[in-house]
Structure 1
Amino acid sequence: MNMEEVWELKLYIAGKTIKSQTALRNLKKYCEEHLKGKYKLEVIDLLKKPQLAEGDQIFAVPTLVKKVPEPIRKIIGDLSNEEKVLVGLNIVPIKK
């Protein structure tokens, strides 16, 4: 992995639901542990900006979209399974 690479992540949610809040909390935790200083996270609330769902073809929330690095990946759900999220985003876990 290129050390200069910045991961561009978008988390689509619908309001302040438990599932949305859980997904955001889990995602921030994983990013801080495995991508510290190397990620940009944009949270998009589809209750406020429903038109943005179309661009990334969002059919369920919460949905995480990884734009960069390619390939583009999507993960649907509250992101509570860390291993599944890391594999889905193609992140190599940092050994503790």
Structure 2
Amino acid sequence: MTQKGKAVLLRLYVAGEAPNSVRAIANLQAILRKYWKGDHELEIVNIIEEPSHALNDGVLVTPCLLRLSPPPVVTLIGDLSEEDKVLAVLGLKGNTP
């Protein structure tokens, strides 16, 4: 759970095995292991296999991380190598392991 008691729902859109997509998955999983102590759900969506899913969420580029809950929806585009930005999206800015 987040500090406010709400579970976090994350959706990461990737384009198959593209290098940036592979890095985004690895970076996000590493950050979650290192910093995340709460309840979360991570859904990884391959837009090559499910393009309509991406369009429904308004995703036009990959990799793209959406924090769907708690509201508001927050979007971060890129390979998620900038840990501070990912932590801010997760609501963990300033936390240490």
1:92 Cα deviation from its structure 2 partner:
3.5
Residue 61 (structure 1) aligns with:
62
- For 2:41, the equivalent position in structure 1 comes to 40
Q: What TM-score does the superposition give when structure 2 sets the normalisation length? A: 0.87
Aligned residues of 2:67 and 2:89 also touching (Cα < 8 A): no
Distance 1:55 1:36 in 2: 30
Alignment partners' CA distance in 2, 1:93 and 1:29: 17
Runs of 4+ in 1 over 6 A off after TM superposition: none
Aligned-residue offset at 1:54: 1.5
> Structure 2 unaligned runs (5+)?
none
What is the RMSD of the two structures over their aligned residues, measured on CA atoms?
1.5
Residue aligning to 1:80: 81
Distance 1:28 1:67 in 2: 17
For residues 22-47 of structure 1, the C-alpha deviation after alignment (integer angstroms, 9 at most, x for no partner) is 00011111112222352110000000
Find the counterpart in structure 1 of residue 50 from structure 2: 49
* Aligned AA (2:76): I
Aligned residues: 95
SS in 2 for 1:30: helix
Find the aligned partners of 1:11 and 1:44 in 2 and give their Cα distance: 6
User: In 2 relative to 1, CA 58–17 (structure 1 residues): closer, same or farther, beyond 3 Å?
Assistant: same
Identity of aligned residues (%): 32
Q: Normalized against structure 1, the TM-score is what?
A: 0.88
